Amino acid sequence: MRLLLISNSTNPGEGYLEYPKIYIRDFLGEKAKNAIFIPYAAVTFSYEEYEEKVNARFAEIGHHVTSIHRFINPVEAIENADAIVVGGGNTWQLVKILQEKGLMKVIRKKVKKETPYIGWSAGSNIACPTLRTTNDMPIVQPEKFKTLKLVPFQINPHYLDDSPANHAGETREARIQEFITINREITVVGLREGTMLLLEGKELVLMGNRKARIFKYGEEPLELSNEDDFSFLLN
């Protein structure tokens, strides 16, 4: 499989998809592809607006996406795609719509046949076995929590080390520790902003200048950089 799983779309002070656009270009290659964009995580703006915003950045790297909502038959659109791009937003909304339209298994099957998959935020979260490590409020109720399971571990996008000022509640690490206490067999990758995971076949690496934090039940969290091999997470 070929996966590019991005923590966030935008760094402070930058434009939308500004920092990951070079990684996306290198991942997709120079030849323009028939890339299908899945905008279902959008809640407060339209799919047309989302498609336009993504295309404004993709045009700078010689690529273009077509939103899946423009197709009468979305299953057929996925089956004919040269690449699949899943945008961020609300993970619960994204999962609910994908399930309702019967697209989870279709996407999984297509990506397993080496169709490149790019996701950021919610789009990276659903590449995991379940959506349960999302940061999003459950504004809707999907049929089930299971997602694409393209990788065997969980991602927590936008991972933060500290709590916001004047917040005395649980840290992100505390929440993840709760998750692995209940789900002891599942590893969680805290993916900090400005970073992404790249899977090429059986090789998994971190891209970006910040470290990822790896959580496994009964072990001290690991801090790994872009110089480390993350392929052990695939076992």
**C-alpha span between 3 and 6 (Å, rounded):** 10
For residue 95, what are the domain limits? Answer: 2-234
User: Residue 189: which CATH number?
Assistant: 3.40.50.880
Q: Is 136 an active-site residue?
A: yes
pLDDT tens per residue across span 48-68: 999 999 999 999 999 999 999
**C-alpha span between 207 and 227 (Å, rounded):** 9
**C-alpha span between 44 and 46 (Å, rounded):** 7
Q: Pick the catalytic residue: 64, 158, 163, 228? A: 158
- List the chain residues with pLDDT less than 50: none
Q: Is 46 an active-site residue?
A: no
**C-alpha span between 103 and 116 (Å, rounded):** 16
Q: Pick the catalytic residue: 9, 67, 121, 124? A: 121
Amino acid (1-letter code) at residue 147: T
Q: What pLDDT sits at residue 168?
A: 65
Q: What pLDDT sits at residue 169?
A: 73
Domain count, the chain: 1
Beta bridge partners, 223, equal 213
Q: Is 121 an active-site residue?
A: yes
